[in-house]
């Protein structure tokens, strides 16, 4: 990444000297239909108003049996959690003294799989709303580019539109796309992101097909399985050789936990030792590759009864330089920066997770 | 690894071809097999490619020579994954399972006292599965019911609760084994291009989904005596999964009001995990930490998964960490209790 050398040096300065104390790497703004329609050209505006969209939202499969899925205090008058910038600023940025916040508008998960030109128009409307209504109003904010992923040439165009705006810091992927995410179909998107120095950010959500043993029945199961969908995504990117093609590409895995990564890497290395000729392009241990390409966010972090075991599990990953605090505002399972990390997490690691690691990845501070 | 006196919970056997099963089928199914050209794929339709899996022993002499005699096992539980046929005819699946069970009994269990077996039952027809459990479940040499993790619907779903009741009623163990109906894509977004990725999906997502399902659907409240063993599914992934599961349950318990304890308690009480594939770090300190997270000396049962190869999983490091008593529990004692082999 172009800005890495300089910011890596910044990250090595003692924490006390650093200005940035808190970066929130997962904030969900939510444009309403009335925000998007005026930002759509015809015929897409009429289509949006008359037919809506076809890909279901995750809560339609798995109703969130907890405060309807949102912080109870996050509903603005006449709006939706995340739709009102002033409320978001007050409840999150001000209340928790967030130095930088990375927005992840999730509409791209469903919009990105609509009919090609319609998908492109919808994603662009989201990006424009975020730019005008959020980024332009607060310089602490960064965002993730929504792209019509299932039509890669149009996704490439959308990335190119924003690549020159330093506030658009990454490209959004769902954890479930039409094909496994390592599929070559998506490589043009990844190449464009890598060349622009933008990480990919895979956020839980998107398509949820049969997955080998059928559907969970409950949100409880579906939510625990978020990690497993992300495991499948990471395994696919590695198995298909994405990183041999694009060694500079960085991928942030959001809202899927972290502690599974150690056991996943052990399993990958063990399998690789037995069947490396099946994946001949993998020229070194998968764990080595994994540690160089992936990042994590904290929310929802695992909570063992013994918090010391969480620290051990994070150390199993060998990736504590690649874990970033995330609140997941305004969802029901919002994590406060004061409470997320148990006391057992050593001070230095805590500072890296709360700010240093994100500063390095996104060139902040 | 010292295997003398061990109980091996997952040793594969397979008929050399479907001809070996024809004596255990009736005229209709013999005719069906002939006319449809049904075979038993030696690789189970790509489940066990030759590169990682030599053929399973097809008769008891081969098994004695490869496993029982040289290793000095006290007992081996046979897994015949030939039942993991992927054709969609539920009646054929039932006929195949019946034939395999009779073949296991006549040609294996009656020929060596060290042998026990998992009975096989159909996945597409729970009523037929129960009928088969009732048909052969009285034979104490069948100690478990083999079901694959890759199926149409997760095993905890309501339609399977009577099946779990039948398993418990016959004092059998539910043995969930890697692979199965591999025609269905293992990920939420489709099929994989490599065996490596498909293989990892067993341990890293599908088996975990089955554990979540059995617990979340309240199977253990409805069937408190059900014991479950996961075969060839790994186990190092369990602690992080349970940490998420417990945490989420504390928040959304309303959705599953039948759960009376946190998910990890059901897993500790009802599940055991086979040691192969081990998928462990080589670092001893980390392995010791992991063993503590797992409660490994109670959770694990030894399984060689002969003749499949999984690469170096560092199981020996874990056994060493557990010390003599822990090693003995994993190699023998836990399986004795699980399958109620003593008393």
pLDDT at B301 over 50: yes
A139 alpha-carbon distance from chain centroid: 20
Nearest beta carbon to residue A212 from set B201, B245, B309: B201
B177 alpha-carbon distance from chain centroid: 3
Beta strand ranges found along A149-293 (DSSP E): 168-176, 200-206, 251-254
The predicted structure's pLDDT at residue B41? 85
pTM for the whole structure: 0.96
Q: Kindly state the average pLDDT of the residues A208-219.
A: 93
What's phi and psi for A329, nearest 5 deg? Answer: -55, 140
The predicted structure's pLDDT at residue A14? 55
Before B277, cis peptide (omega within 30)?
A: yes
**Cβ of A220 and B216 within 8 Å?**
yes
**Cβ of B204 and A266 within 8 Å?**
no
Q: Is residue B209 within 8 Å of residue B178, measured between CB atoms?
A: no
User: CA–CA separation, B269 vs B142, rounded Å?
Assistant: 22
The predicted structure's pLDDT at residue B1? 86
**pLDDT > 90 fraction of chain B, expressed in percent and rounded:** 94
pLDDT at A65 over 70: yes
**Cβ of A217 and B251 within 8 Å?**
no
- Express each pLDDT in B115-152 by its tens digit: 999 999 999 999 999 999 999 999 999 999 999 999 99
User: CA–CA separation, B197 vs A268, rounded Å?
Assistant: 9
**Cβ of B187 and A313 within 8 Å?**
no
A264 touches chain B (CB under 8 A): yes
Q: How far is A256 from chain B (nearest CA, A)?
A: 10
Q: Is residue A221 within 8 Å of residue B211, measured between CB atoms?
A: no
Residues of B with Cβ-Cβ distance to A333 under 8 angstroms: 251
**Cβ of B201 and A232 within 8 Å?**
yes
The predicted structure's pLDDT at residue A7? 47
* Nearest residue to B245 via CA among B226, B266, B230: B266
If DSSP codes are grouped into helix, strand and coil, which group holds residue B156?
Answer: coil
pLDDT at A9 over 50: no
Nearest beta carbon to residue B312 from set A225, A270, A316: A270
Chain B: residue nearest A233 by CA?
B187
**Cβ of B197 and A312 within 8 Å?**
no
A334 touches chain B (CB under 8 A): no
Mean pLDDT, all residues of chain A? 94
The predicted structure's pLDDT at residue B184? 83
């Amino acid at each position: 990444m172009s800005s890495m050398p300089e910011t890596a040096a910044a990250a090595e300065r003692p924490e006390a000297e650093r200005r940035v104390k808190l970066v929130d790497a997962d904030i969900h703004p939510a444009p309403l239909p009335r925000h998007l329609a005026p930002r759509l050209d015809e015929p897409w505006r009429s289509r949006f108003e008359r037919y809506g969209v076809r890909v279901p939202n995750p809560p339609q499969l798995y109703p969130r049996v907890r405060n309807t899925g949102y912080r109870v205090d996050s509903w603005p008058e006449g709006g939706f959690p995340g739709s009102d910038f002033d409320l978001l600023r007050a409840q999150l940025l001000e209340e928790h003294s967030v130095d930088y916040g990375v927005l992840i508008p999730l509409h791209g998960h469903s919009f990105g799989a609509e009919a090609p030109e319609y998908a492109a128009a919808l994603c662009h409307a989201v990006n424009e709303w975020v730019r005008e209504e959020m980024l332009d109003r607060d310089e602490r904010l960064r965002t993730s580019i929504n792209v019509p992923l299932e039509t890669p040439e149009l996704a490439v165009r959308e990335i190119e539109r924003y690549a020159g705006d330093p506030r658009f810091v990454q490209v959004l992927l769902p954890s479930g796309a039409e094909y496994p995410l390592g599929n070559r179909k998506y490589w043009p998107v990844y190449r464009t992101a890598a060349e622009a120095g933008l990480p990919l950010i895979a956020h839980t959500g998107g398509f949820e097909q049969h997955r080998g043993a059928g559907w969970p029945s409950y949100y409880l199961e579906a939510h625990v399985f978020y990690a497993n969908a992300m495991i499948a995504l990471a395994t696919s990117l590695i198995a298909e050789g994405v990183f041999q093609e694009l060694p500079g590409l960085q991928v942030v895995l959001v809202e899927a936990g972290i502690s599974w990564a150690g056991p996943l890497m052990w399993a990958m290395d063990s399998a690789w030792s037995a069947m490396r000729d099946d994946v001949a392009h993998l020229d070194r241990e998968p764990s080595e590759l994994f540690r160089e390409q992936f990042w994590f966010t904290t929310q929802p972090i695992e909570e063992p009864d013994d918090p010391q075991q969480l620290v051990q599990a994070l150390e199993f990953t060998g990736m504590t330089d690649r874990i970033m605090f995330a609140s997941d505002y305004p969802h029901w399972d919002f994590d406060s920066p004061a409470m997320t990390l148990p006391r057992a997490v050593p001070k230095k690691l805590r500072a890296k997770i709360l700010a240093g690691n994100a500063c390095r990845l996104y060139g902040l501070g | 690894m010292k295997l003398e006196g061990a109980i091996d919970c997952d040793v594969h056997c397979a008929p050399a071809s479907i001809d070996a099963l024809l004596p255990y089928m009736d005229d209709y199914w013999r005719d069906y097999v002939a006319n449809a050209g049904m075979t038993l794929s030696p690789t189970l339709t790509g489940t066990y490619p030759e590169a990682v899996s030599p053929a399973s022993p097809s008769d008891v002499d081969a098994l004695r020579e490869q496993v029982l005699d040289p290793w000095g096992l006290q007992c081996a539980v046979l897994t015949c994954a030939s039942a993991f046929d992927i054709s969609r005819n539920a009646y054929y699946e039932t006929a195949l399972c019946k034939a395999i069970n009779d073949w296991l009994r006549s040609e294996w269990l009656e020929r060596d006292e060290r042998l026990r077996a998992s009975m096989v039952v159909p996945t597409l027809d729970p009523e037929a599965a129960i009928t088969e459990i009732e048909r052969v479940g009285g034979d104490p040499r069948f100690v478990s019911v083999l079901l694959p993790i890759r199926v149409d619907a997760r095993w905890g779903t309501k339609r399977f609760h009577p099946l779990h009741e039948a398993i418990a009623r016959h004092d059998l163990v539910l043995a969930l084994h890697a692979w199965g109906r591999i025609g269905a894509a293992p990920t939420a977004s489709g099929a994989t291009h490599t065996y490596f990725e498909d293989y990892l999906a067993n341990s890293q997502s599908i088996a975990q989904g089955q554990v979540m399902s059995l617990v979340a659907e309240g199977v253990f409240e409805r069937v408190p005596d059900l014991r479950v063993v996961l075969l060839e599914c790994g186990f190092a992934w369990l602690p992080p999964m349970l940490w998420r599961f417990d945490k989420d349950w504390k928040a959304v318990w309303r959705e599953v009001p039948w759960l009376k304890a946190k998910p990890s308690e059901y897993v500790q009480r009802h599940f055991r995990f086979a040691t192969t594939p081990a998928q462990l770090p080589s670092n001893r300190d980390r392995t010791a930490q992991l063993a503590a997270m797992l409660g490994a000396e109670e959770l694990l049962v030894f399984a060689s998964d002969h003749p499949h190869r999984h690469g170096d999983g560092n199981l020996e490091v874990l056994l060493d960490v557990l010390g003599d008593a822990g090693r003995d529990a994993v190699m023998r004692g836990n399986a004795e209790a699980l399958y109620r082999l003593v008393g």
